[in-house]
Amino acid sequence: MKVQDQLYGFTVMRSRRVEELDATLWELKHDKTGANLVWLDNAEENKLFAIAFKTLPSDDTGVFHILEHSVLCGSEKYPVKEPFLDLIKGSMNTFLNAFTSSDWTAYPVSSKNRKDFLNLTEVYLDAVFCPMIYRNPLIFRQEGWRYSLHEGEESPTYNGVVFNEMKGSFSSVDTQVMNHLNRMLFPDSPYGFVSGGDPEKIPDLTYEHFLDMHREFYHPTNSRIYLDGQIPLEETLSLIDSYLSRYEKSDKQHEIIPQKPVESLTREYPYAIGAEEDPKQRTQIAIGKILCDWSDRKKQTAVSILASYLMGSNDAPLKKAILERGLAQDVSFDVMDGIAQPYTILQFQNTEKEALEPLKATIKATVSELLEKGIDKDELSAVIDHLAFSMKSAEEPRGIYRIMRIVNSWIYDGDPLMYLTSDDLIAELREALKGNYFELLMEECFLDDAHKAELVMIPSRTKTAEDSAKEAERLKNETAEWSEEDRKATIEMNERLDAWQQTPDSEELKATLPKLELSDIDDEISWTETEVTKEKDVTKLIHSLQTDGIANAGLYFSICDIPMEDIPKLSLALSFLGDLPTASHSVRELQKEMKRSVGKRSITILPIRDPEGADKCRLYIAVTFSALEERFYDAVKLIREILLETRFDDDELIKALLKQEVEGMYQSIIGRGNSFAMTRAGRYFSASGAISELANGFSEYRYISNLSNQYETESRKFITFAENMKSLFTERRLLLSETGSITHDLLSAFDLPKGDDTEIKKTLQIALEPAGVPEAILIPAPVSYAAACSSLNQFGKRYNGRFNILSSILSYGYLWSEIRVRGGAYGCGFFASEGGSLGFYSYRDPSPLRSVEVYRNTAQFLKEYVESDEPVDSYIISSVGQYEKLRTPRQKGIDADLAWMIGKSKEDVVQIRKEMLNLKKEDLLEDCELFGDAFDRYAICVVCGEEQLSNQEGWKVERL
Ligand SMILES: [Zn+2]
């Protein structure tokens, strides 16, 4: 292929060799419609197709978000209810999703399998250009919003997938901060609107307007198509052309008129906290300002470098100044990029309204002083090093990472290459260090008051109740005008919707979807070899992999002798490593050195289930890190230093970190309550489950929030423990691991103390608590998460490959239709892990108690499923696909370590794959025993708002 070539309706406009990506970038234009297409021709086996449309909101109804969901609910060629779901169930995709951002909507899919890739591409093309939304208005009612009303019900409620999703999203104070700030900074621009939809405004959206927006924006001329990897070019282009060429070129211009900077303004809004929470020190303040144009990538990146320098740790100059004066509990500075006019946001967490002026004065004084004394260029240089590392080591699938970058320029008709590469940018930034670029930028960001939007969010104990009352009032007003006919029509619409949702697609319709056959799956399994060696007396695992100049190491310290009551303390103490000073470095110096030398790092408690019994486990402190080869020994030195030399003697520092830790966990219980509910319910069934709960679950939250509240009396115990923790990092406890192409002499490099001669226990045994009544954790937000957990050995079973398929059938079949589609929850699933744990969860669920009943009824569904003629092949294919996830070399190494620890061999993986491929549908009947009456052997935990659990009798209730 060369420039000017014409093929399948496209003309090749430009081609560039990109050394940095070891790839060629091809730019093509569709002759008839003017659609732009880019192909990054690299050697990657994973093939990606993505189509993006520029979608500019002109209200808060979330119309583009609702469209994103809705076009995936059936199309002309594939008129099944949920092709999206059928693809998840039946393909070997390595990625399948869709995104709505503030100004674009994108549909990316990828697969390693060629046939699968073409299938997925075709279904996505048909979805975006020929969706069923025109013929079936129920799709809009299901995904967007509806009056939910059934015979016998007094008054309607609002329901809808996006409606519920956004209610959940609005429960986070950060979401509200962003929404208010966008409105203040962009009063005349699409960015002033909530592109996902404001639950208060979603019901303003009409079906007609929804369709109009699709007609206008989902047009080839308004699209950008991105291909990545070893794609079959001719077939792909001809497929794309077969859709595009149905259209004429559109002359609609979707230009974003730049927002004129606003006059400085301050606004106040309430946000919800729990009815019994103390509002003291809970005000949130944010200050926003437009920074530049999308094309100034250097400036945006420079701001994030400054942010890391000024506020990256509690000891960083600006953050330190704020914390020392006790003005706020935390402060951050970020650039909100990915839009035509990126802006900066300076955020103060947990403060008082009265602190606004002192906060601003402190910022100014500190920045002026820094500028006068001179900023630490060496530290900025370390931040740039770290940035260079992270830009080179993106997570898989990397094609997705690249489409997310490319839109940053391409959607505004800029050069698609602009955000794809990073070498030039890094060089420019290093060059900028020599002059006063960063100083001028600091002045602009912090000393210039013009065009700033100041937002003060005041905690309100009544807002949750007020919002519900307001919604009820609105519903009442709207329905007051209904005639008897209107009421009937609404009930009928709901009945039609229920019927449509409950009637499975006919086999004939299902047959329209392109599918893989079992014979399309190749036999290769992905397996990372482990070579077991010794360095002196210490066992070392080596995984030889090509890692592009990055070295990865792991240290696992066996701690099976630790008392259970110390786990929460240990978890907290480990989380402080790297954020406290050491014997030889201040926090700032330490972090500077780490940024320069350590790429990724993680230090956690790692419980591993023991095959001998559920009440036993092996327990490690897992320390993993990566670094550029040339910095590896510097990284080792630093990791050693934080393990052995961290000082726990600065109360003020510890107190501040602790408060931030409590706040972080508080927010994640509200935002990711499902994982807390699962850990909580899972603690009864295995020692590893019990430890996970103590280390990362609600128990850990309780421990750290109590410690923070009673710091003066309780901190001694913690600090003594943390100081003694260093004695755990010895050679006697150690297992080493390395992943890369070069091996290092890790043991001598680390030079850890030997440790005393006492035998280190190999396993830890604990007395498991019996599960009792269902538990609830009440949160100050109207969102819920419901979990029910158990374990295979409760039912006398052992894990085998069949459970992967069972998980897939329940998650994407039964639970999806009952809990997501009918119940309106945003997410749900069932899992049965190799470790033997078992359970259900729901995510942002409007009716958690109903979901628990759905879990209970699984046996009935399973029987019906086995008796039905729905084939199981597609579930087998997707389960095999999921079992072979794309992973970075670092992740492969860590997974191989875990496999070695539990004694999982390549033969086991082959066996599991065999069990999946050979599954007979009838085999699943055996698993009915896991549900129905046997559901009493599950523990239940619900994280929810007060209203979702009106009758708390018989429940064990705790409050956040
Ligand atoms: Zn969504």
Residue 66 Cα, ligand 1 centroid: separation in angstroms? 7
Q: What is the pLDDT of residue 185?
A: 98
Q: What is the pLDDT of residues 149-159, one digit of tens each?
A: 999 998 999 99
Note residues around ion ligand 1 (Cβ under 5 angstroms): 165
Q: Is the pLDDT of residue 952 over 80?
A: no
Residue 828 Cα, ligand 1 centroid: separation in angstroms? 14
Q: What is the pLDDT of residue 291?
A: 97
Q: What is the pLDDT of residue 106?
A: 98
Mean pLDDT computed over 42-51:
95
Give CA angle at 51 (825, 138), nearest 5°. Answer: 40
User: Rounded mean pLDDT of the chain?
Assistant: 95
Residue 719 Cα, ligand 1 centroid: separation in angstroms? 44
Q: Is the pLDDT of residue 613 over 90?
A: no
Residues 165 and 268: their CA atoms lie apart, in Å, by: 26
Taking each helix axis as running N to C, give the angle between helix 802-809 and helix 873-883, from 0 to 180 degrees, rounded to the nearest 10: 110
Across 332-336, 546-550, 588-592, 768-772, least confident range: 546-550
Q: What is the pLDDT of residue 944?
A: 95
Residue 167 Cα, ligand 1 centroid: separation in angstroms? 11
Residue 163 Cα, ligand 1 centroid: separation in angstroms? 9
Residue 826 Cα, ligand 1 centroid: separation in angstroms? 8
Residue 423 Cα, ligand 1 centroid: separation in angstroms? 35
Q: What is the pLDDT of residue 885?
A: 85
Band (539; pLDDT cuts 50, 70, 90): very high
Residue 784 Cα, ligand 1 centroid: separation in angstroms? 17
Residue 141 Cα, ligand 1 centroid: separation in angstroms? 14
Residue 862 Cα, ligand 1 centroid: separation in angstroms? 29
3 state SS of 545 = coil
Report the chain's C-alpha Rg in angstroms.
28
Q: What is the pLDDT of residue 145?
A: 97
Residue 865 Cα, ligand 1 centroid: separation in angstroms? 29
Q: How far is CA 412 from the centre of its chain?
A: 26
Residue 60 Cα, ligand 1 centroid: separation in angstroms? 14
Mean pLDDT computed over 807-831:
92
Q: What is the pLDDT of residues 669-706, one digit of tens each?
A: 999 999 999 999 999 999 999 999 999 999 999 999 99
Residues 817 and 503: their CA atoms lie apart, in Å, by: 10
| Positions of E strands within 538-600 | 538-544, 550-558
Q: What is the pLDDT of residue 831?
A: 96
Q: What is the pLDDT of residues 47-84, one digit of tens each?
A: 999 999 999 999 999 999 999 999 999 999 999 998 98
Phi, psi of 108 (to 5 degrees): -100, 145
Q: What is the pLDDT of residues 877-921, one digit of tens each?
A: 999 988 888 999 999 999 999 999 999 999 999 999 999 999 999
Mean pLDDT computed over 824-848:
93
Residue 169 Cα, ligand 1 centroid: separation in angstroms? 10
Mean pLDDT computed over 733-737:
97
Residue 324 Cα, ligand 1 centroid: separation in angstroms? 41
Q: What is the pLDDT of residues 117-135, one digit of tens each?
A: 999 999 999 999 999 999 9
Residue 64 Cα, ligand 1 centroid: separation in angstroms? 10
Q: Is the pLDDT of residue 939 over 90?
A: yes
Q: Which candidate, 741, 778, 737, places its Cα nearest to that of 895?
A: 737
> What's the Cα-to-Cα distance from 259 to each of 53, 191, 290, 722, rounded to whole Å?
21, 9, 9, 52
Q: Which residues of 828-845 are buried (b: 16+ CB within 10 A; e: fewer)?
A: bbbbbebbbbbbbbbbbb
Residue 457 Cα, ligand 1 centroid: separation in angstroms? 26
Q: Is the pLDDT of residue 633 over 90?
A: yes
**Which ranges constitute the DSSP H helices of 225-316?**
233-244, 297-311
Residue 815 Cα, ligand 1 centroid: separation in angstroms? 18
Q: Which helix (H) or strand (E) holds 453?
A: strand 453-460
Residue 162 Cα, ligand 1 centroid: separation in angstroms? 6
Q: What is the pLDDT of residues 774-814, one digit of tens each?
A: 999 999 888 899 999 999 999 999 999 999 999 999 999 99
Q: What is the pLDDT of residues 162-189, one digit of tens each?
A: 998 898 889 889 999 999 999 999 999 9
Q: Is the pLDDT of residue 428 over 80?
A: yes
> What's the Cα-to-Cα distance from 934 to each of 788, 806, 856, 929, 955, rounded to whole Å?
12, 17, 8, 7, 20
Mean pLDDT computed over 195-221:
97
Residues 2 and 510: their CA atoms lie apart, in Å, by: 41
Its pTM surpasses 0.85: yes
CB 390 within 8 A of CB 376: no
Residue 102 Cα, ligand 1 centroid: separation in angstroms? 13
Residue 177 Cα, ligand 1 centroid: separation in angstroms? 20
Q: Which candidate, 117, 138, 162, 119, places its Cα nearest to that of 73?
A: 138
Q: What is the pLDDT of residue 668?
A: 95
Q: What is the pLDDT of residue 950?
A: 77
**Which ranges constitute the DSSP H helices of 815-954?**
848-856, 858-867, 873-883, 889-902, 906-917
| In the block, residue with structure tokens 């009456």 | 933
Q: What is the pLDDT of residue 781?
A: 86
Residue 473 Cα, ligand 1 centroid: separation in angstroms? 26
Q: What is the pLDDT of residue 100?
A: 96
Q: Is the pLDDT of residue 27 over 90?
A: yes
| Positions of E strands within 741-811 | 764-765, 775-778, 785-791
Q: Is the pLDDT of residue 715 over 90?
A: yes
Other beta carbons within 10 angstroms of residue 759's beta carbon come to 7
Residue 100 Cα, ligand 1 centroid: separation in angstroms? 8
Q: What is the pLDDT of residue 682?
A: 96
Q: What is the pLDDT of residue 566?
A: 97
Q: What is the pLDDT of residues 846-881, one digit of tens each?
A: 899 999 999 999 999 999 999 998 889 989 999 998
CB 580 within 8 A of CB 654: yes
Residue 222 Cα, ligand 1 centroid: separation in angstroms? 22
Residue 827 Cα, ligand 1 centroid: separation in angstroms? 10
